[in-house]
Amino acid sequence: MEPAAGGFSEEQFREACAELQQPALAGADWQLLVETLGISIYRLLDQTGLYEYKVFGILEDCPPALLADVYLDLDYRKQWDQYVKEVYEKECNGETVVYWEVKYPFPMSNRDYVYLRQRQELEMEGQKIYVILAQSTSMPQFAEKPGVIRVKQYKQSLAIESDGKKGSKVFMYYFDNPGGQIPSWLINWAAKNGVPNFLKDMAKACHRYLKKT
C-alpha cells in the first residue's frame, strides 16, 4: 500500500473514519474502563504488558472544523493544556514533525515526544470527517534532553464529525510506552480522569478560541 504524504497510508485514515461510524471492539479483549462526561474509554492489554486505548464520545457545542483547528493549534494549546511544558512543530524533509514535552508529577521525570502528524478531511456517507494521525519518529534535529525521558513508542488517531447538532462526535485511539517506572495509580488516573478532562478542557478551549479569533 502506498503511504500518504507524511508517512501515513490512506487506509489508516479510512480506518479511523470507520471506527467513528462503527466502533471495532469485537474480536479482541477490549474492556470498558470508564464512562464519564459523555465519554466512553476502552482499553486492551497488548503483548508488551501495556494498554492501548479507544475513546468514543460527544463534545457538545464544539463544531468539528473548530475542534480540529483547536487540536492542531499548538501555540494555543500552551494556554489551555496544563500538562504541556513545551510544544512546537517543524517542517522536516517535507513532513510536519511535532516536539511535545509533558509535565509529570514530582519526583518523576517529564516525558517528551517527537512525532509525525498529518490531517486529512474525508467524505463518508455524505458526512465530512476530520482525521488527524500521529506516530513517533526519530529525527536528529530533536536531540534528547538531560532529565527528560523520550517516549519512542507513540501512536494516536483522532476522527471528528458532526453530532448532527452543534457539537462533534469523536473517536480517539492512542498508545504510548512512557518508559521508566510509572506507578499503576498514575496510569489508571491518566486513563480514567486525564483523558476525559483533556477532552473537556479542549471543548472549553473551543469556546474561547471563537472569542480569540
CA–CA distance from 69 to each of 16, 43, 75 (Å)? 18, 27, 12
CA 178 to chain centroid = 15
Q: Residue 38 corresponds to which cell in the numbers above?
A: 459523555
* pLDDT average, residue stretch 182-186: 78
In the predicted structure, residue 22 carries a pLDDT above the cut 50 = yes
**Domain range annotation of the chain:** 10-77+119-136+154-210
pTM to 2 decimals? 0.90
**Higher-confidence position of 191 and 13:** 13
pLDDT of 2 reads 35
Q: How far is 171 from 78, CA to CA, in rounded Å?
A: 23
> Average of pLDDT values for 178-205?
83
> What's the pLDDT at 213?
58
pLDDT band for position 207 (cuts 50, 70, 90): confident
**Amino acid 182: pLDDT:** 80
Who contacts 186 (Cβ-Cβ below 8 Å, separation ≥6)?
Answer: 105, 108
Look at the block and give the residue holding cell 500518504: 4
38 pLDDT exceeds 60? yes
Least confident residue range of 45-49, 77-81, 94-98, 144-148: 45-49
Q: What is the mean pLDDT of residues 60-67?
A: 92
pLDDT at 212: 65
Mean pLDDT, residues 55-82 taken together: 94
What CATH superfamily classification does 10-77+119-136+154-210 receive? Answer: START domain (3.30.530.20)
Q: Which of these, 71, 44, 83, lies nearest to 173 by C-alpha position?
A: 44
pLDDT band at 1 (very low <50, low <70, confident <90, very high): very low
